[in-house]
Amino acid sequence: MIWADDGELWQRARQGEAECFGVLFDRHGGAVRAFCARRTGSIDAADDLVSIVFLEAWRRRGEVELVDGNALPWLYGIARRTIQHRWRTAVRHRRALERLAPASATPDHAEEVAGRLDDERHLARLRAALERLRPPDRDVLLLCVWQGLTYAEAAVALGVPVGTVRSRLSRARSRLDAETGPFGIVDPANCPVATPTQRQEMS
C-alpha cells in the first residue's frame, strides 16, 4: 500500500479506509508542516496546524477529486486558508482585549515581545527576508521555491490561474533581490524542510 500513488490512496480513503489516509499523512505531513512553519514562524503553531489540515482533509474526503492524482497542492490550499482563519481570529481577539483594557493602562511591551512568533532562531533569516512581501507573493514563493511545487500545482493550491502564479513569483523574486541582494541569501538548509519528491522541473 505504501507504494500506491496519491490517486489510488485517496480513492480508497474516500471509501473509508483510514489506513490509506494514514499513508497520505506520512507521505505529505512533513511538507505541510514545513509550509506552516515558514508561514507562521512557529514550529509549535505548525504542529497544531498540521493536525487541523489533515482533520479537515479527512472530513472533506468525499467532496474532493484530486487534480493530476496529487494530494499535496490541495493540502497546501487547506493549510493556507487555515492559517488565514487563525490570523483573523487572533486579530479579533486582540482587539477585543484592547477594548476591555483600562484607558490608563500602560502597555506591557515585554508581553508583546514575548507573544511574537519569531523567536525561533533558525527561522529568523527567512522571516526577515520575507516579511515585507505581500502575502499572496509570499505564498507563491514558499510553494514554488521551498516546497517544490510546479506552477500548475501552486495554482491549484492557491486557487488562481497559472499566469498569476508566474507573475507573483517573478514579483516576489524581484523584491527580495532589491531588498536583500541576491535571492540566494535565504538558505533553505537553515530551515526545517521535508524532503520533496522529485518533480518535473519548472520551465
Mean pLDDT computed over every residue of the chain: 75
pLDDT of residue 176: 74
Hey, what's the cell of 137? 507573493
Choose the weakest-confidence range: 41-45, 123-127, 184-188. 184-188
Q: Please, what sign has the CA dihedral across residues 157, 94, 126, 41?
A: negative
With respect to CATH, is domain 6-100+115-190 assigned 1.20.140.160?
yes
d(CA 161, CA 178): 26
Question: 75 vs 108, which has greater pLDDT?
Answer: 75
pLDDT of residue 54: 93
Residue type, 198: Q
pLDDT tens-place string over residues 148-172: 788 888 888 888 999 999 999 998 8
d(CA 65, CA 88): 29
Name the range with the highest mean pLDDT among 87-91, 105-109, 178-182: 87-91
Hey, where are the domains in the chain? 6-100+115-190
Hey, what's the cell of 51? 493536525
pLDDT of residue 49: 92
